[in-house]
């Protein structure tokens, strides 16, 4: 836990620096404007476009340093804890669930939302939950089917379908 605290603080500090760097970017059509020209108060106009994000990111950076100092002085609870950041159960759950979610996201790009939901539900209910095959199949089929009728047909929000799109055209013929 102690190591995780300082690594996170360091990473957040770097992120703040990147935000500050990015805030200073000038307009795309005018390459003559120098970086960080926009972070101050412009005469008669008030703050420039980079003012708000730049100075707030600076505060973020200072806070990360502060968190680092608290870590060194062992003031915050995570910096006192010698427990591992993730115990065995947590690590396993994180990999299985987080990995499942990433797989879900990638699958959406290939076989669309409805196909991906079906696969994800089978993986989660049948694989991780160890429910029996029949209820798993029923739920995994029912959810994408209900979502299709709710979103695509009733709400008219068309979800991406990837390579499965041809399968849906006859359904549009029937219901739209």
Partner 1 sequence: MNKHMRSFLNTAGALALSLSVVTGPALAFEPDKPVEFVIMAGQGGGADKMARLIQSIIEKENLASRPLIPVNKPGGSGAEALTYMNSVSDPDHTVMVTLNSFFTTPLRQPGLGVDIMKFAPVGRMAEDTFLLWVHKDEGIKTFDEFVTAAKDRGREWVMGGTGKAAEDEIITDYLNNNYGLEIKYVPYKGGGEVAKQLAGRQITSSVNNPSEALGFYQSGDLIPLVAFTAERLPLFPEVPTLNEVGGNFVYSMQRAVVGPPGMSKEALAYYTDLFKKAYDTADWQTYKTKQSLMGNFMAGDDLSQYWSEQRVRHEAILKASGAIK
Partner 2 sequence: MDILFALMDGIVVAMQPTNLGLAIAGVLVGLFVGAMPGLGSVNGVAILLPFTFVIQEFTGSATSPMIFLAAIYYGAMYGGAISSITLGIPGASTAVATTFDGRPMALAGRADRALVIAALASFVGGTISNILFTAFAPPLASVALKFGDPEIFALMLLAFATFIGLGGDDIPKTIFSICFGLVLASVGFDIVSGEPRLVFFDISGFSHGIRFLVLAIGVYGIGEMMWTMMSSQSHSAMSYVKITRQGLIAACREFASAWRGTAIGSFLGFFVGLLPAAGATPGSLMAYGVAKLTARDPKSFGKGNPDGISAPESANNAASTGAMLPMMTLGIPGSPTTAVLLAGMVIWGLQPGPLLFSSQPDFVWPLIGSFYISNVVAVLVNLAFIPVFVWMLRMPFTILAPVIFVLSLIGTFAAYQDMFDVWLMVLFGFGALLLRKLDYPLAPAVLAIVLGPIAEPKLRQSLLFSDGDFSIFFTRPIAGPITIVALILILLPIVKFALAHIRPAKR
Q: How far apart (Å, rounded) are the C-alpha atoms in residues 105 and 124?
A: 14
What is the size of the binding site for partner 2 (CB under 8 A)? 71
Q: Are 70 and 4 in contact (CB under 8 A)?
A: no
Which stretch in 14-22, 74-82, 140-148, 158-166 sits in contact with partner 1 by CB under 8 A? 158-166
Q: How far apart (Å, rounded) are the C-alpha atoms in residues 144 and 175?
A: 16
Is residue 42 a contact residue for partner 2 (CB under 8 A)?
A: yes
Is residue 173 a contact residue for partner 1 (CB under 8 A)?
A: yes
Residue 46's beta-bridge partner residues? Answer: 42
Question: Residue 42: phi, psi to the nearest 5?
Answer: -85, 140
The conformation of residue 81, written as its DSSP 8-state character, comes to -
Which of the listed partners (partner 2, partner 1, none) does 175 bind, with a CB threshold of 5 to 8 Å by partner kind? none
Instruction: Spell out, one character per residue from 72 to 111, where the chain touches partner 1: x when CB under 8 A holds, - when not.
Output: --------------------------------------x-
The conformation of residue 121, written as its DSSP 8-state character, comes to H
Is residue 59 a contact residue for partner 2 (CB under 8 A)?
A: yes
Residues 6+ apart with CB under 8 A from 52: none
Residue closer to partner 1 (CB basis): 71 or 120 = 120
Is residue 176 a contact residue for partner 1 (CB under 8 A)?
A: yes
Is residue 27 a contact residue for partner 2 (CB under 8 A)?
A: yes
Least distance from partner 2 to the Cβ atom of residue 125, Å: 6
Q: Which of residues 93-152 bind partner 2 (CB under 8 A)?
A: 93-94, 97-98, 101-102, 104-105, 108-109, 113, 117, 120-121, 124-125, 128-131, 139, 143, 147, 151
DSSP assignment of 24-77, as one string? T---TT-TTSPTTTTSSEETTTEE-TTHHHHHHHHHHHHHHHHHHHHHHTT-SH
Binding site for partner 1 (CB under 8 A): 27-30, 110, 152, 156-158, 163-170, 172-173, 176
């Amino acid at each position: 836990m102690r190591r995780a605290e300082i690594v996170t603080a360091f990473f957040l500090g770097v992120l703040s620096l990147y935000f500050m760097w990015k805030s200073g970017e000038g307009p795309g059509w005018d390459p003559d404007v120098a970086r960080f020209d926009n972070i101050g108060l412009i005469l008669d106009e008030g703050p420039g476009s980079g003012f708000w994000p730049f100075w707030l990111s600076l505060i973020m950076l200072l806070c990360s340093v502060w968190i680092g100092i608290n870590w060194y002085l062992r003031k915050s609870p995570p910096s006192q804890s010698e427990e591992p950041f993730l115990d065995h159960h947590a690590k396993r759950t994180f990999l299985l669930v987080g990995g499942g979610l990433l797989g879900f996201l990638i699958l959406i790009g290939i076989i669309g939302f409805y196909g991906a939901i079906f696969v994800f539900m089978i993986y989660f209910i049948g694989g991780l939950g160890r429910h029996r095959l029949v209820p798993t199949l029923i739920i995994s089929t029912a959810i994408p089917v209900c979502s299709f009728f709710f979103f695509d047909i009733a709400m008219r929000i068309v979800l991406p379908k990837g390579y499965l799109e041809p399968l849906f055209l006859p359904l549009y013929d029937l219901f739209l």
